[in-house]
Amino acid sequence: MALTKFNIWRTNSNGGQFQEYTTDITEGMVVLDAVHQIQAESANDLAVRWNCKAGKCGSCSAEINGHPKLMCMTRMADMPADKVISIQPMKAFPVIKDLVTDVSVNYRTKLKIKKFKPRKPDAADGTWRMAQSDIDRVQEFRKCIECFLCQDVCHVLREHDLHEQFMGPRHLVYTAALEMHPLDVEDRRGDIKTEGGIGFCNITKCCTNVCPEKITITDNAIIPLKERVADKFYDPLMKLFRMLRSS
């Protein structure tokens, strides 16, 4: 390949602006390689968060030509050759510097979700038995690398900034993994209805589309959770039963 132009978001005292850089792209490079090369050659203080460069840690989330992606898993060969490539930080989170955002809200949100609570062990040696078929779904959710791209693209968080009212797709997936865990005996349905704000989600599936782990967030996690919430709080028979029981 050849010299390629990039527009990279740089913060400054007035907020920030795109700055143009040019670097030589060789075969097989990903966007993160290009950013590193620019950093080493001409912008030593360009801030970018990254760890594994293998799509496993979920640190290098950004918006590349407007699309939320992991920089380490986006190949330069898949970028349009004739256009300047734009790289900017995730929009749904406050910017710390350049491409690095403050994602701490996600850690605070997770802390509010009730932790895993297993049933009593099945065997005398303190172990449990679970069939593989019963954990396939939970294992799908546990593939999540916490890149927060789903939070970034969710319009409730991105456009309306409702981080305090709506836990967002990542934490619904996390809750689903706990709720559907064959050993777990906790009940989180009330929490996701009220504090979690599951009702805000109107299943546009934007989160599913950006997930680098290809977790079917909406269909497999959020919709079943909505159904569980509905069963608990809106089922007329159950409502009657609860009224009778409490009276």
Partner 1 sequence: MEKFETYHHDVLVIGSGGAGLRAAIEASSAGVKVAVVCRSLLGKAHTVMAEGGVAAALANVDDRDNWKVHFADTMRGGQYLNNSRMAELHAKESPDRVRELEAWGAVFDRTDDGRILQRNFGGHKYPRLAHVGDRTGLEMIRTLQDHGIHQGMDIYQEYTIISLLKDGEKVVGAFGYDREKGLFKIFHAKAVIIATGGMGRIYKISSNSWDCTGGGISLAYHAGAELIDMEFVQFHPTGMVWPPSVRGLLITEGVRGEGGVLRNNKGRRFMFDDIPDNYKGQTSTDEEEGWRYTQGDKNAKRPPELLTRDHVARCITREIKEGRGSPHGGVFLDIAWIKEKLPNAAEHIKRKLPSMYHQFKELAGVDITKEPMEVGPTTHYIMGGVQVDADTQMTSTPGLFAAGECAAGLHGANRLGGNSLSDLLVFGKRAGEFAAKYAKETAEGKINGAEVEEIAARALAPFEREANKNGENPFQIQSTLQDMMQELVGIVRTDKELSEAIDRINGLKELADRAACGGNRGYNPGWHTAIELTHMLTVAEAIAVAARERKESRGGHFREDFPEKGDRFGELNICIKKGAEGKMEVKHIPKQKMPPDLQQIIEENK
Smallest gap, in angstroms, from Cβ of residue 114 to partner 1?
A: 9
Q: What is the rounded CA–CA span in Å between residue 204 and residue 207?
A: 8
29 vs 87 by CB, closer to partner 1: 29
45 vs 202 by CB, closer to partner 1: 45
Measured over the CA atoms of residue 14, residue 68, residue 59 and residue 25, the dihedral's sign is negative
Structure tokens at 213: 């782990």
Residues at the site binding partner 1, with contacts judged by CB under 8 A: 26-30, 33, 39-40, 44-59, 73, 75, 96-98, 100, 102-104, 107, 110-111, 115-116, 118, 126-132, 135, 138-139, 142-146, 178, 181, 184
Smallest gap, in angstroms, from Cβ of residue 138 to partner 1?
A: 5
Smallest gap, in angstroms, from Cβ of residue 234 to partner 1?
A: 29
Q: What is the rounded CA–CA span in Å between residue 206 and residue 153?
A: 6
15 vs 126 by CB, closer to partner 1: 126
22 vs 26 by CB, closer to partner 1: 26
Q: What is the rounded CA–CA span in Å between residue 109 and residue 100?
A: 20
Q: CA neighbours within 13 Å on the CB side: how many for 164?
A: 0
Q: Which SS3 state, helix, strand or coil, does residue 185 take? A: coil
133 vs 246 by CB, closer to partner 1: 133
Smallest gap, in angstroms, from Cβ of residue 98 to partner 1?
A: 7
178 vs 223 by CB, closer to partner 1: 178
Q: How far apart, in Å, do the first and last CA atoms of the chain sit?
A: 75
Closest CA to 150 of 168, 135, 124, 164: 168
Smallest gap, in angstroms, from Cβ of residue 82 to partner 1?
A: 22
Three-state DSSP string of 11-45: EECCEEEEEEEEEECCCCCEHHHHHHHHHHHCCCC
Smallest gap, in angstroms, from Cβ of residue 104 to partner 1?
A: 7
Closest CA to 38 of 11, 70, 7, 73: 7
